[in-house]
Chains A and B, each alone.
Chain A
Amino acid sequence: MSRNAKTHLGRRDFLRATAAAGAMTVASPGLLRAQASDINLQTWSAAVDTVQSHVAAFTAETGLGVDYGNSPYAQYRDAMVTKFVGGAPLDMMWVSDAWLPEWAEAGWIAPINDIDFLMAYNADANDFCTNSMTYGGKQYGLTYYSDYMAFFYDAEKVAAAGFDGPPTTWAEVVEQSLAMKEQGISDYPMMLAMAQESWLIEFISALVFSHGGRFTDEDGASIMESSPGVQEALQWVMDAVNTHQIISPACVETGELNGLKAFSSGNHAFAMVAKYRLRTLNDPEQSAIAGNVRQAMMPMGPNGSHETVGWMRFHGMSSAAAADATRKANTAKLMEWFGGKANGEYKFQKLLFLDIGAGFGVEPLFDDPEVRAAYDSYGDVDMIQAQQALALKKDVVTPWFGEWNETNGSAWQSAIIGNTDAASAIKASSDLWTELRDDY
């Protein structure tokens, strides 16, 4: 039998074939690479279907292809930092206001001040949103979502306890809660989720701001120890948990989502959660207290006001995209499509609001009949707008925010569980802030 006629694969044939395949792969990496799109968009895994359909509409409108990827919010920052460092192709991405200084300082995202048609949208945006997208005097994107920490109450429980209306101060929260405990309406009338997670700083900030406190001064130096509202806020939580027992000691293991579920199942009378949760809380399919949940202005401390904390998310442009004229032009078009107007209206922000109840950062949408009708079905638009006007940007958003936030959360938790006193916890947090600020 001739050599050519053999049908089995010999050892040498196998090695030869493997070597040939390897050589081809090395020589032509393009074979394994997918067709590149015009724009690379990265978001976290929220409203994925809405994003996809809006991307499809953009492609149909402009003819530009968009490569869309997403990852869970909990890992988003780490994933994006790794992509930036690794030089992954990125053009437009969702950015949290909390990461802006870090990403801008590292040179990963670029300002959009020189793109006039994008900057023109500032005329419609809330000042809070524009400020939150601005770092070092430069604006880094267009907003698509903005919300704040709200105070909700179960109107039925408040009435059952004999009160005419919701509490307006933190002292009244204690007073009404104690009455409810006494009458057996709720074991722990106030729901506060203080687990160590990304929401914790929002809860802490809302408590501090409503007590009139500030973490830092205008130069970014720590004033935590000298600003009375900070310690007062922590002391209020400590007393509420340990002395009055109106907040469950399990609050340190309760995350935002579990807290929401506990409140919606009727275990509590008061709750501090993100405003966009109001729709869920008044949805009979998702909440046992649907129809009874009302929003009140954030209660205030003895030296405070109804101020609360706000946050926003925006579309940012990578520095790599900004450095290339074509990529920059394409990305700016996509940014306008998502963060500005698409076919004459703030389409994406409206879709997000109607889809998941996410708040928006542009004023004209408050006048949109569809938006007002949706809000009216589960909330009070005027109350929502009034509280939004008192939402403050977190004053701890700096390049070292992430590092400080971890320790600050632990310090507050330690004080709540009685491991340390309020002053020591605040001092530990303040000392770390100063150390990190000096280091940076």
Chain B
Amino acid sequence: MTASALARDRKPGLWDRFGYEERSAVLFLAPVMTVLMAVAVFPILYSFYVSLFRIKLTRPNRQPFVWFENYTDLLGDHEFWMSVGKTVTFTVTSVASIALISLLIALLLNEQFKGRRFLSTILLIPWAIPYVANALMWKWIYDSGYGALNGVLYQMDFIDKYMVWLGDQDKTLMLIANAFVWKEVPLATILLLVTLKSIPDDLYSAARVDGATVWQRFIHVTLPAMRPGFMLVMIYETMMAIRHFDLFFVLTEGGPGSASHVLSWHIYVETFRNLSFGSGAAMSYILALATFGLSYFFIRTLGRRL
């Protein structure tokens, strides 16, 4: 049998089924896919593999494979659950505040008034500030010795002596949430404003014909029509809040005591201070799954009637 006959009799493989266009596409996409596999997919899979070991960098000769022990150990870890509780408090407070404040600002910016463009522009300033710079700015504002917050309140006679802010465990988490909200409100406002702009005027006209008041139009027309925007805001801001780290690192380092010891801080300490990469990876996976679960919940509830 000749070589050409052999080639003719060979069953066509996957590659043979591709036409010129498909082969070109595969060829051109291959470098990008290779890079993505190397810098995204492989680290994700490898970190899961790492989470199955008791890896501690400072004990390079003792790193046993422990199956899911790093995960099960967390169930009985008091510090882990405490950090989960603080994360939930921070996330719920922040996201609720962001949703409410950005809704109010979006409603305001949706109206026609003098200075609207200027207001829209300055609204973007917090968004443009990098996270760490934002954190340093709030550290100065909250400082108990020379902070602007104390200065303003003192000048306005609201306080008769300088107060301790970040050092007060009852206030710490809420003050950090406040700094987070300040940074996140602009983006949420833009998302909601875009949704507001997309509501057809016909709906309002019809509501007016039916005799609906301003409040009724807001409740029965505006809010339902804003569901896609809210869904985006809730998913994005929840993801940002639940894994937020920068403010905790710069402002309090998890303190005072354990007042701001949220899950992202706990993971940082476990991974990069204690150098326990196994348990740190396990916690990171739990955080990722929680974020995924919450996003799914928002899509199921808010996106159901889209």
Task: Give A contacts to B, CB under 8 Å.
Answer: 78, 81-82, 84-85, 102, 105-107, 187, 195-197, 248-254, 258, 262, 267, 399, 402-403, 406, 409-411, 413-414, 416-417, 419
Q: Judging by beta carbons under 8 Å apart, are A195 and B255 in contact? A: yes
Chain B residues within 8 Å of A410, by CB:
254-255, 257-258, 261
Q: Judging by beta carbons under 8 Å apart, are A106 and B58 in contact? A: yes
Q: Judging by beta carbons under 8 Å apart, are B145 and A250 in contact? A: yes
Chain A residues within 8 Å of B261, by CB:
410
CA distance A187 to B167 in the complex (A): 17
Q: Is residue B73 within 8 Å, beta carbon to beta carbon, of the partner chain?
A: no
| Residue from A106, A195, A250 in contact with B60 in the complex, judged by beta carbons closer than 8 Å | A106
Q: Is residue B93 within 8 Å, beta carbon to beta carbon, of the partner chain?
A: no
Q: Is residue B269 within 8 Å, beta carbon to beta carbon, of the partner chain?
A: yes
Cβ-closest chain A residue relative to B258: A410
CA distance A195 to B254 in the complex (A): 10
Chain B residues within 8 Å of A248, by CB:
144-145, 164
| Residue from A81, A107, A262, A411 in contact with B275 in the complex, judged by beta carbons closer than 8 Å | A81
Knowing that A102-B58, A409-B255, A410-B257 touch, tell me 4 more A-B residue pairs with CB under 8 angstroms: A105-B59, A195-B255, A252-B256, A406-B269
CA distance A258 to B139 in the complex (A): 12
Q: Judging by beta carbons under 8 Å apart, are B58 and A399 in contact? A: yes
Q: How many residues of B contact A (CB 8 A)?
A: 27
A-B contact pairs, 15 of them (CB 8 A): A84-B60, A102-B58, A196-B256, A249-B168, A253-B166, A253-B252, A253-B256, A254-B167, A399-B59, A403-B273, A410-B254, A411-B257, A414-B258, A417-B167, A417-B169
CA distance A197 to B249 in the complex (A): 11
CA distance A47 to B105 in the complex (A): 51
Q: Is residue B274 within 8 Å, beta carbon to beta carbon, of the partner chain?
A: yes
Q: Is residue B246 within 8 Å, beta carbon to beta carbon, of the partner chain?
A: no
Interchain nearest-CB distance for B302 vs A (Å): 38
Binding site secondary structure of chain A:
helix
Q: Judging by beta carbons under 8 Å apart, are A267 and B145 in contact? A: yes
Given contacts A82-B57, A417-B167, A419-B169, contact A402 B255 (CB under 8 A): no
Q: Mark B241-278, 1 if CB is under 8 A from A, else 0.
A: 00000000000111111110100000001001111000
Q: Judging by beta carbons under 8 Å apart, are A250 and B167 in contact? A: yes
Interchain nearest-CB distance for A3 vs B (Å): 21
CA distance A197 to B74 in the complex (A): 26
| Residue from A81, A197, A251, A399 in contact with B167 in the complex, judged by beta carbons closer than 8 Å | A251
CA distance A414 to B167 in the complex (A): 11
Task: Give B contacts to A, CB under 8 Å.
Answer: 57-61, 144-145, 161, 164, 166-169, 252-259, 261, 269, 272-275
Q: Judging by beta carbons under 8 Å apart, are B274 and A406 in contact? A: yes
CA distance A405 to B253 in the complex (A): 14
Interchain nearest-CB distance for B142 vs A (Å): 9
Q: How many A-B residue pairs have CB under 8 A?
A: 87
Given contacts A81-B58, A85-B57, A262-B145, contact A197 B257 (CB under 8 A): no
Interchain nearest-CB distance for A289 vs B (Å): 16
Q: Judging by beta carbons under 8 Å apart, are B257 and A402 in contact? A: no
Chain A residues within 8 Å of B256, by CB:
196, 252-253, 413-414, 416-417
Chain A residues within 8 Å of B274, by CB:
402-403, 406
Interchain nearest-CB distance for A44 vs B (Å): 16
Chain B residues within 8 Å of A406, by CB:
269, 273-274
Chain B residues within 8 Å of A409, by CB:
255
CA distance A106 to B274 in the complex (A): 14
Interchain nearest-CB distance for B300 vs A (Å): 38
Chain A residues within 8 Å of B59, by CB:
105-106, 399
Interchain nearest-CB distance for A327 vs B (Å): 21
Q: Judging by beta carbons under 8 Å apart, are A85 and B60 in contact? A: yes
Chain B residues within 8 Å of A253, by CB:
144, 164, 166-167, 252, 255-256
| Residue from A187, A197, A249 in contact with B253 in the complex, judged by beta carbons closer than 8 Å | A197
Cβ-closest chain A residue relative to B272: A78
Chain B residues within 8 Å of A84, by CB:
60
Chain B residues within 8 Å of A106, by CB:
58-61
Chain B residues within 8 Å of A416, by CB:
256
CA distance A416 to B169 in the complex (A): 11
Chain A residues within 8 Å of B273, by CB:
78, 402-403, 406
CA distance A403 to B273 in the complex (A): 7
CA distance A187 to B161 in the complex (A): 10
The 3 closest A-B pairs by CB, nearest first: A414-B257, A250-B144, A252-B256
